[in-house]
Structure 1
Amino acid sequence: MKIFIDVGHPAHVHLYRNFIKILSKKDVEFLVTARNKDVTISLLQAYNIPFVPVGNPSKGQIEVFKEWILRDIKVYKIAREFDPTYLMGLLNPTIAHSAFLLRKSSIIFNDSEPEAIKFPIADWITTPFVNTVIVPESIRHSYGAKEVRVSSYKELAYLHPNHFKPDFKILSNAGISRGEEFVLIRFVAWKAYHDISEGGFSLEQKLKLVKELSQYATVFVSSELPLPKELEKYRLPIPPQHIHHFLYYASLLVCDSQTMTTEAGVLGTPAIRSNSFVGSRDMGNFIELEREYGLIYNIREPEKVIKKALELIGQPNLKKIWEKKRKKLLNDKIDLTSFMVWFVENYPDSLKEFKENPEIQYRFR
């Protein structure tokens, strides 16, 4: 078996890294192409995943379409030479187009709902060409006969206890002592195509947020954009592959990030998410994590975020309360990596088996 995977974002590396590790030991051959987005390349190198670079992210939201076209051509040429059995990615148009042109099967993961995005272009140019779409059951959009709906999140491909063991020693680089409470704040760049006319904290709001919270707890800041000089002293002093250990032990996450909010939820760390997606058109996983499990808070108004953050910081036994909530979630959800290994190893028979009996997924808790 030969599998081709294209990754364009750090979250994609995490989604597939354990999948690649497990199947590589079974003599499955992989070829990974990668876009130099944020810390994507650093993560691939840290996890010893060989890759072929296929370009850099565009400098603006409009230029992204030119980048897509150029990357489409590069990926197709590389895939044609590799001649894979299956092509995989996360809502990845280059994978879908290459598979379609090569008459190969594509298996795509997607956890972003087109209804939540003002211009869901990636869905429009990807889904029609895809064979199978694996989606969390929490999303409200239906992909019809193409979808495989699983009780999981993409973050459980790498943060499920079967694959992730928190290591407190890693935090020593940040000077954290056991029992010390600290808050992690995460800001994203808002430059992706799906971020057109969307946004999170303004610079003024970032400065106020850090200033207020630092009076009550040790604060660390992680940012996709260069930090303003006023926040440089709060920079998170660990390599990107260790971020989840840091997040696990954090007392609280405050962010405008989508992925890191879900990561905090599945790790049992209280999280407050604030951006323009919050509201009636929000994505199903965030609604579920808040309403069903009480693990996160979705607050659209930045001025209300500080009030909620201070309320949580002052709550005794906060992490113990959240650990009980996390156990409930883990009892309901499956290990996505183990499911994908079974699904791809046995595809397309596994697709037929799943359609006839979706409960088979619960073998992979």
Structure 2
Amino acid sequence: MRILIDINHPAHVHYFRNFARLMGEQGHSILFVSRNKEMEHALLNLYGITFVNRGKGRNGKVGKFLYMIYADMKLIQVCQQFKPDLFLNFLHPYPSQVARLLGKPSLVFSDTEHAGLHHKLTVPFATKVYTPSCYRLDLGEKHVRFNGYMELAYLHPNYFTPDPSIYEILGIKPHEKYVIVRFVSWAAAHDFGHTGMSLENKRKAIKAISKYGRVFITSEAKLPDDLEPYRIRIPINKMHDAIFYSTLLFGESATMASEAAVLGTPSVFIDNDGRGYTDEEERKYGIVFNFTESEQDQQRAIEKAEAILACKDMKYKFKQIREKLLAECIDTTELMMSEVLKYAK
């Protein structure tokens, strides 16, 4: 098969890189096309994945609409040479629109319920849409649910082994307590109207958490001068090692909250919309703690972080929860392979 995988966010590289490697080993041809946002291209280069660049994209509703036209035209141009049999991507419209135009199957994965605009521009053109079973929406006859999470496409033990050298890279002693804090830019299409934590509460959170251990901030946006010294400075392929050995993940990223969950690290997640999967990871496993962006909830989130950090022996407890989660969930990459191969000629 000839499979075109379109990347629209750094996390998508992780979602599909093991699939691409395993399918390539079986003799299938894979082509990645990638937007240049944050670190997609750096990640693709890091994993030795050849790709076609489709530009940086644009912000704002008008800018995103104009970019959609450009991206569709770029993909049509790429397809004239590559001639894909199937398109694969995480929820965004360009590959599914082009696949429908070319009469090819388009398989889409998603776990983001509030990405309403992407739903409207993608689902009508997709052949199948795959989501975790806890997905809040019903997408109709195209909808296929699976018992697992997107993060298990790359953080399942079949693919990920934590590297303790991260302690040395971070400049701390083995088993020393540290917390990773994640702030996002709120520039994505599904983030319109969000503000996240106030700067005052970000500072308050860092001060409170620092009483229990080192703090490392990863941020999409520029940090104020007083928080910049906390910025984490590690190779981009070491972030999951850092999450695995951390005591807590605190912040505004649903993906990183779920990454922490499947790695056995508790997380405090702040977002007005939440996600079906972070809700389940709290309800079913008690390893994610969800809060809204309201002032009251921001304060409660900080208090929850302190309560977790004050507990003794909680690291062992959450690693046991991870074992339970892994036993009850599937390997998402294996699912991708089995579903794609149904379309092999």
Opposite residue 132 of structure 1, the aligned amino acid is K
Question: Normalising by structure 2, what TM-score?
Answer: 0.95
Alignment partner of 1:315 out of 290, 311, 315: 311
Opposite residue 307 of structure 2, the aligned amino acid is E
SS across alignment from 2:88: strand
Q: CA deviation at 1:234?
A: 0.8
Cα contact 1:186–1:223 (8 A) shared by 2: yes
Q: Deviations over 1:278-314 (max 9, x none)?
A: xxxx421111110111111002211112111111111
Q: CA RMSD in A?
A: 1.4
Distance 2:343 2:21 in 1: 19
1:124 pairs with 2:120: yes
Q: CA deviation at 1:61?
A: 5.0
Q: CA deviation at 1:92?
A: 2.2
Q: CA deviation at 1:254?
A: 0.4
The residue number in structure 1 matching 2:73 is: 73
Cα contact 2:95–2:106 (8 A) shared by 1: yes
Distance 1:313 1:62 in 2: 44
SS across alignment from 1:229: coil
The residue number in structure 2 matching 1:288 is: 280
Cα contact 1:266–1:329 (8 A) shared by 2: yes
Alignment partner of 1:241 out of 237, 240, 251: 237
Distance 1:28 1:246 in 2: 33
Q: CA deviation at 1:180?
A: 0.4
Cα contact 1:157–1:335 (8 A) shared by 2: yes
Q: CA deviation at 1:328?
A: 1.3
Alignment partner of 1:330 out of 326, 332, 338: 326
Structure 2 CA distance for partners of 1:247 and 1:62, relative to 1, 3 Å: farther
Deviating more after overlay: 260-269 vs 66-75: 66-75
The residue number in structure 2 matching 1:144 is: 140
Q: Following superposition of structure 1 onto structure 2, how do residues 201-220 of structure 1 map, counting pairs within 5 Å?
A: 201-220=197-216
Cα contact 2:254–2:275 (8 A) shared by 1: no
1:339 pairs with 2:335: yes
Opposite residue 169 of structure 1, the aligned amino acid is S
Q: Deviations over 1:149-202 (max 9, x none)?
A: 110111000011111100111331111221101000000110011111123112
Distance 1:239 1:25 in 2: 27
Q: Deviations over 1:314-360 (max 9, x none)?
A: 100111111111111111100000121122123379xxxxxxxxxxx
Q: Following superposition of structure 1 onto structure 2, how do residues 1-365 of structure 1 map, counting pairs within 5 Å?
A: 1-60=1-60, 62-113=62-113, 116-117=114-115, 120-277=116-273, 282-300=274-292, 301-347=297-343
Distance 1:92 1:107 in 2: 11
Give percent identity, aligned residues only: 38
Distance 1:165 1:128 in 2: 39
Opposite residue 285 of structure 2, the aligned amino acid is Y
Question: Normalising by structure 1, what TM-score?
Answer: 0.90
Q: CA deviation at 1:242?
A: 1.1
Cα contact 1:171–1:245 (8 A) shared by 2: no
Opposite residue 163 of structure 1, the aligned amino acid is Y
Cα contact 1:62–1:193 (8 A) shared by 2: no
Distance 1:81 1:103 in 2: 16
The residue number in structure 2 matching 1:360 is: none
SS across alignment from 1:287: helix
- Number of aligned pairs? 341
**What runs of 5+ residues in structure 1 fail to find an aligned partner?**
350-365
Distance 2:57 2:308 in 1: 37
Distance 1:170 1:46 in 2: 18
